[in-house]
Amino acid sequence: MKILVTGVKGQLGYDVVNELEKRGIQAVGVDIEEMDVTDAESVDKVIREAAPDAVIHCAAYTAVDAAEEHEELCRKVNTEGPRNIARVCKELDIKMVHISTDYVFGGEGTAFWKPEDACDPQSVYGMTKYEGELAVQELLEKYFIVRLTWTFGINGKNFVKTMLNLSKNHDTIRVVNDQIGSPSYTYDLAKLLVDMVLTDKYGVYHATNEGICSWYEFACAIFREAGIEMNVVPVTTQEYGAKAKRPANSRMDKEKLTRNGFERLPSWQDALTRYIKALRENHFFEE
């Protein structure tokens, strides 16, 4: 079996390629240099030449605030990109795994969002990711759309690395306390995505590590786990201020994973412990 993975330089794509190789599955990892997802001809050429059994599409425009000012580029990557890939997958009759986000929802209330709930994106990023989902659903039958939240991994940038970097020259940090979600380790997510692509249990899924917290609670746990003394000050979203609107409620219902026989991920606390250990081993920070 052979699987093409986009966004191999990012957190998730990197871990997905590693997981495939660990299982003895041939992985073809590409990033913008090898395949620009916004270029339909490039997409067509690269996928046909690779002749994979499936595509796991991890590449995306994820700069949420910058997207408000660069809507055209964001839409090219997050909407046209998936459409270009889905078109080729349809012609070659191969599966596609498309990665999406909690930002497709309105983000209000306290209920856990179900995969079939109505979408109501509140930002350019959220809207373009939702449009990407629609493009995949319109073109394909053999698709998995997997919505993730608050990801962190060894490769690329994330909230955990940002907090640890800030601790080098700050003794006080302000962190939002009124946005609730689930931190998710790309190492764990990669295992699930590979499990998924080996089946024909198609559809829309939510996947995160188990448990919920606020960004403030997550930050406190990061410093505790890393053994760093830090004064973390809780603030509201309004006090913090940001260009793009963030979901206040990113609680995701994952019962569909259980119903379809997929293993749920460990708790986010367990994931964070393993991640900090991996960062230490990679000399990301010193005690």
Known catalytic residues are 125
The two beta strands, 143-148 and 2-6, are: unpaired
For 168-267, where are the alpha helices, taking DSSP H only? Answer: 186-197, 215-226, 237-240, 255-259
**Which helix H or strand E contains 185, and what residues bound it?**
strand 184-185
Tokens of 202: 């198609």
Helix axes 268-281, 159-166, angle to 10 degrees: 60
Integer Cα distance of 15 and 232 in angstroms: 30
**Which helix H or strand E contains 5, and what residues bound it?**
strand 2-6
Is residue 248 within 8 A of residue 240, CB to CB? The reply is no
Integer Cα distance of 57 and 100 in angstroms: 10
List all residues 6 or more positions away from 63 whose beta carbon is below 8 Å from its beta carbon. Answer: 70, 125
